[in-house]
Amino acid sequence: MLNDSYLTKWNKQKNKLIKNHIYNELDEHSSCGVGLIASSKGINSREVVNMAIEALKCLYHRGAVDADGKTGDGAGIHLNIPKDFFIEQIGRTGHKPNNYPFAVGMIFLPRTNFAAQERSRSIVESEVLKEGLTIYGWRHVPVNTKVIGKKAKLTRPEIEQILICNDIFEDKSVFDTKLYVIRKRIEKIVRKENINDFYICSLSSRSIIYKGMFLAEQLSNFYPDILDDRFISKFALYHQRYSTNTFPTWSLAQPFRTIAHNGEINTLKGNKNWMMAHEPRLNHINYGSSIKDLKPIIDPDASDSAALDSAIELLVHSNRSLPMAKIITIPEAWAHRRDFSKKLKDLYAYANAVMEPWDGPAAICGVHDEWAIAGMDRNGLRPLRYTLTEDYLITGSETGMVSIDESNIIEKGRVGPGQMIGINFREKKFYNDQEIKSTLSSSRPFGDWTKKIIHIDKLVQSVDEEFRDIDSNNLRKRMASFAWTIEDIELILHPMIVEQKEATGSMGDDTPLAVLSDNYRGLHHFFRQNFSQVTNPPIDSLRERVVMSLRTKIGNLSNILDEDQYQCEHLQLSSPVLSINQFKTMRQYMKDAVKIIDTTIDLYIGNLSFKEKIDEINKEAEEAVRSGFVHIILTDKELSERRMAIPMILATSSVHNYLIKKQLRTYVSLNIQSAECLDIHYYAVLLGVGATSINAYVAQQAIADRHKKGLFNNLTYEQCVERYIETVKNGLLKIMSKMGISVISSYRGGNNFEAIGLSRSLMTDYFPLMSSKISGMGLIGLEKRSLEAHHRAFDNDLTTLQIGGFYSFRKGEEKHSFDATAIHILQNAVESDSYSSYKKYTGLIYENQPINIRDLLDCKSSRQSITNDKVENINEIRRRLIAPGISLGALSPEAHETLSIAMNRIGSKSDSGEGGENPDRFIPKLNGDNSSSAIKQIASGRFGVTAEYLNNCEEIEIKIAQGAKPGEGGQLPGNKVTSLIAKLRHSSKGITLISPPPHHDIYSIEDLAQLIYDLKQINPKAKICVKLVAQSGIGTVAAGVAKAKADIILISGHNGGTGASPQSSIKYAGLPWEMGLSEVHQVLSLNNLRDKIILRTDGGLKTGRDIIIAALLGAEEYGIGTTSLIAMGCLLVRQCHSNTCPVGICSQDEKLRKKYTGTPEKVINLFTFIAEEVREILASLGFSSLKDIVGRTDLLYQSNRGSSDLDDLDLNP
């Protein structure tokens, strides 16, 4: 029953999840429908309001409905204040309306806490009266609670309006700016006093916002005010919300004070951080000393839409027009547009100099002062249609939302990527995109201002000669001190130059997490790349390159509220990735304005710790800024036997955040000269934690050394360096695109990573904007490991680097889950149908050092053990075991068919993977075998997807992301695209096939709901599964997927297999399924959605114990992929992508396919063995069924705390 005790219980459970780092409210996402209706003649009318109410009702399908059928995710409307209506309300307060302008505040107050409610009114009144304004009184807003759901009623605030007389300020804009300051002061006090459920929807002399947690069609029923004929307006901004958070939050309903937003800001963390950095320099005549009252500009807990609204609100109250504010915050893709005029490019170059863009899907409608606008993000990733009549501009997420006489239509269309349209009420004129931008570009001499930008790239004439005669022995020691290996040189660096692309790998990652490894690999290995899934799309960095940019400005960042030439006085690079010569050239142009800070420690003097050295670096950086330096270079060039380098990622993040804390960050650029930096992921982490530019000088020395040895064929040294830099740039664009981020300035400082296994104290002190849900390595442990690596490199006569074994198994090097012995024993077990051999295999696995999170866990029960015969039979357990998606193309036809036959024989399911399936397999064989995959996958490329394909299955899986490469599309090398594969995928033989990173019909959560609906129309009998990849915040994404009416959610781990994927994705993207599964299970349970969904997981599952751990964490079904292939004969040589699989499993080569020896019986034996082991463990725990332990985390305990180097490897089980 829903009541106050239920709410108390819900909040208690939510706070518990937050405390245990499982849930974060900032991870909540939303998508929506949005629209604007504006009078092109600037006339207030009832018709505008009526049309908006009608249009909002047409957006019902873009919102979600709770199980009670009445609670929505939020809807609202923004209108002009109807003067006559509120004059009457003022009269009812006992005051005589006069000719003074007035303002209305629409306020949510705590409803059940009367002390907090009264205190809130007191705060509001006090701050209003401080400005000498008169308060007419408060008005209880009439509401009809019968039309809202139980959850909405439970959380409903007290809704009141404060009526304020303006008998001081003659200018309406001055009055509204003063109200803006008053509101910010009120919010600050309320936040300081921890008053919950208080929110100011609007406080303005011009407009008012009515919103709440109801269905879009109930807006006017809930608020009878809106039905009053005196409610007239010249504009109406309306919004319907679809949230992944299922418990109502009244304050997050839109519109906000300036805009209504449909989309998701992917750069939110970076934008918030940079706005905090900009705050010390904010200054404007409109505020004077009151500027301090506006800070923080963005509420730390604000959603992405609310944060964007706050940024735009600041700009428009600082005399920027609303169109200019849109240009600055959400600019068009302009850097590579040859069709743009110079004046337009100058406008965008200026806007780029002012502030970092807010990047991500965004269809916005906004109103301020004389403007009402509708605009789109640079990629056009949300729908926004418009119709223009003689009297009205009508825009919205759909077309046809308002009934219009076709004869009155002047123009209709869509707002394209980066475009903007609007009505200027003062001029009573409609402006199209070209007219708005032409007006803006002519408003200031932007061309003259941007001439002050110095383009460094144009000043570099040739490649530097400094390191041509490098000492190979010294170079080797430097590389070894950072744990570089032969693999790093041969498998990562070499392909970047020879092939001019990132190295490709296959079969996933079965090495230990960095925190569990005996080998120190470098700090960057602890960071996992974030990515977009469902609620916003990744970008295609190959096909959508025109919207992406690495353009980097270097220097002193000015006051963002200024509008003058001085904002353009900076250096500019086409990319933050610099060669040695480019770095030297940049250094020359910095002249005396640069401070070089050494990040190495002298080992011969005293006992200086990492902490002491970092503190020293931070203070040196602070002193440099206060002394007038505008550039800082952090360098480890002094690295030697005597001097050890601090990890550059640590130093960079520390300085960046320290300067923000000291309110100095915008005064300097932070440039990095690093010996440790080599691969693309390292560059990305450096930029993510705040680096402005990067020179990986030892990587370039390594290139010079290898070139001297003739290892790059006919390439010149200059070409080698250029290829390396170009590959890094392409890789950075790809990593940015995973998050849906287009421009490097929005990515920089965004901390778009999740740490695994770094202590919480280390994260709090040096990476405050990044989370590490699993603690582990602290600063002391990091120092110890770094010192050991340094001594190994310099204290011995080092003749060669370590091999590594990180990318491929090498005896005596990095540990792997599967080594040759384990593979041999398992294959012998399935071939001989020997359970005792299988037990030898599991014994070997369990004796290994911990590799995965689950290896640190064990289970225990207070129940008495039972005999195996009392546990459910093998068949019941096998039905829960799935052969996950592996495409026909990645696999040979024979191997793909083997999996399907095996799964169908035991009543389980195999997944076709993307790429289709031969229709001949839809017909059972003469011997009764069925080779049709029970699960048919639909992926972004739609390869092989037909109505026939979708109708021959029990389940349809929508692959949003893949564990080995989340944020990227699948790829099949051209040498594997045979005539059969090409036919099934409707392509051409020999052509490399790469699926786009996003589904181009899923740009938001409501788009996914639409696809699920469509697929159920195609095959009503099939269940719909949505495949996600584990990441921080996946719980709220899964909640949205559940609300979209999926039947099954698959949580894939980062170590899942793949036929082909970039190595940086295999090794550095996504999280372990244990983390994702636990979060999803608990968040779905929190929101009463768990019983509506079957949870499935996969990613490196290989034993019955793995199944038990997965069940205890919440999974009901389990995918076993790589281990299935090993059972069929796979030797894990990791050549899947090269079409040279020696056993014919992952090859389309007919000669190699003849070597295939896999059979359905081998696969069945594997699944039988795993099921039998599950039965044994269940019996030992005293449970008779696998379903009885699903979600029983109370049976788990942490049995291993990792190595002694760690602070505390705490899993919070």
Given the residues 32, 201, 859, 1136, select the one marked as catalytic.
32
Identify whether the C-beta of residue 1169 lies closer than 8 Å to the C-beta of residue 881: no
CA gap 310, 87 in Å, rounded: 30
In terms of phi and psi (left: phi > 0; alpha: psi -120 to 50; beta: otherwise), the region of 1036 is alpha
CA gap 310, 326 in Å, rounded: 12
DSSP β-ladder status, 420-424 and 371-376: antiparallel
- How many CB atoms sit inside 10 A of residue 843's CB? 11
CA gap 816, 163 in Å, rounded: 69
CA gap 1085, 196 in Å, rounded: 24
- How many CB atoms sit inside 10 A of residue 228's CB? 15
Residue 607 burial (C-beta neighbours within 10 Å; 0-12, 13-18, 19+) = exposed
What's the one-letter identity of residue 376? M
Identify whether the C-beta of residue 1038 lies closer than 8 Å to the C-beta of residue 1094: no
Identify whether the C-beta of residue 370 lies closer than 8 Å to the C-beta of residue 341: no
Identify whether the C-beta of residue 1105 lies closer than 8 Å to the C-beta of residue 1173: yes
CA gap 1178, 358 in Å, rounded: 51
Cis peptide before 255 (omega within 30 of 0): yes
Give the H/E segment covering residue 412: strand 409-414
For the record, the structure tokens of 955 come out as: 């389940």
Identify whether the C-beta of residue 1053 lies closer than 8 Å to the C-beta of residue 1076: yes
The DSSP call for residue 456 is G
> Which residue in 1060, 1058, 304, 383 sits closest to 741, CA to CA?
304
Phi then psi for residue 777, to 5 deg, are -65, 125
> Which residue in 589, 554, 557 sits closest to 575, CA to CA?
554
For the record, the structure tokens of 600 come out as: 């190495």
What's the one-letter identity of residue 864? Q
HSE, CB side, 13 Å, CA atoms: give it for residue 330: 34
Does 32 participate in catalysis according to the annotation? Answer: yes
Identify whether the C-beta of residue 742 lies closer than 8 Å to the C-beta of residue 380: no
Q: Taking the chain, what is the end-to-end CA distance rounded to the nearest angstrom? A: 29
DSSP per position, 816-829: -SS-HHHHHHHHHH
CA gap 707, 208 in Å, rounded: 68
For the record, the structure tokens of 767 come out as: 């990476």
For the record, the structure tokens of 910 come out as: 């195999």
For the record, the structure tokens of 406 come out as: 């076709």
Three-point CA angle 1092, 1095, 1096, nearest 5°: 150
HSE, CB side, 13 Å, CA atoms: give it for residue 913: 31
Identify whether the C-beta of residue 666 lies closer than 8 Å to the C-beta of residue 628: no
DSSP per position, 10-35: HHHHHHHHHHTTS--GGG--EEEEEE
Phi then psi for residue 160, to 5 deg, are -135, 160
Cis peptide before 300 (omega within 30 of 0): no
> In this structure, what is the dihedral angle of CA atoms 17, 19, 22, 23, given to the nearest 10 degrees?
70
Burial 182-218 (b: 16+ CB within 10 A, else e): bbbbbbbbbeeeebebbbbbbbbbbbbbbbbbbbbbb
Catalytically active residues are 32
